[in-house]
Amino acid sequence: MKVMKALIVLLCVFAPFLMAGYALTIVPNGIQALRNTDGIDWLWVILLAAMMIGIYYFLAVYVEDEEKITEAFRRLDRDHDGFITREDAGTWPELLSAFDRFDTDHDGRLSWTDFDAFEHAVPIKAKRTD
């Protein structure tokens, strides 16, 4: 996950320069069009900037959320076998009560995918006691 986060940071740093360069290639007359002050040719640059901000926001929220879910899964998976058992989930009452609903293959264990579905389905969770 740290590699992915580092790549996203690099993307966030260099993307404005790449997008500005791309904008100069697609805007008719390139740099000359940017000197136009009537605003028509600037629309491309403004739209690209808005898209970049939206993508950055989405990525920041998504990556932070996934890191928190992964960390919670690792804390609960005490034997580090890649699954959460009922005993592992014993300190989290909401997870225990919804265990059967999210155990999709009914093997008595939650995989990371099952736990991710639980995390995204439950809007408010009480803090666990360890």
| Higher local confidence (pLDDT), 71 or 42 | 71
Q: How many domains does the chain have?
A: 2
103-125, pLDDT tens digit by residue?
988 898 999 889 988 988 856 55
Same domain, yes or no, for 71 and 35? yes
Same domain, yes or no, for 8 and 69? yes
pLDDT score of 35: 59
* Alpha-carbon gap, residue 69 to 59, rounded angstroms: 15
* Alpha-carbon gap, residue 27 to 45, rounded angstroms: 8
Same domain, yes or no, for 69 and 81? no
How many whole angstroms from its chain centre is CA 22?
26
Same domain, yes or no, for 68 and 85? no
Same domain, yes or no, for 7 and 50? yes
46-86, pLDDT tens digit by residue?
777 778 777 777 777 777 777 788 888 999 998 889 899 99
Same domain, yes or no, for 2 and 40? yes
Same domain, yes or no, for 24 and 61? yes
Same domain, yes or no, for 63 and 16? yes
Which structural domain range is residue 119 located in? 77-130
Question: Residue 83 CB: number of other CB atoms within 10 A?
Answer: 19
pLDDT for 44 beyond 80: no
Mean pLDDT over the full length of the chain: 76
State mean pLDDT over 86-101: 88
Q: What is the pTM of this model?
A: 0.52
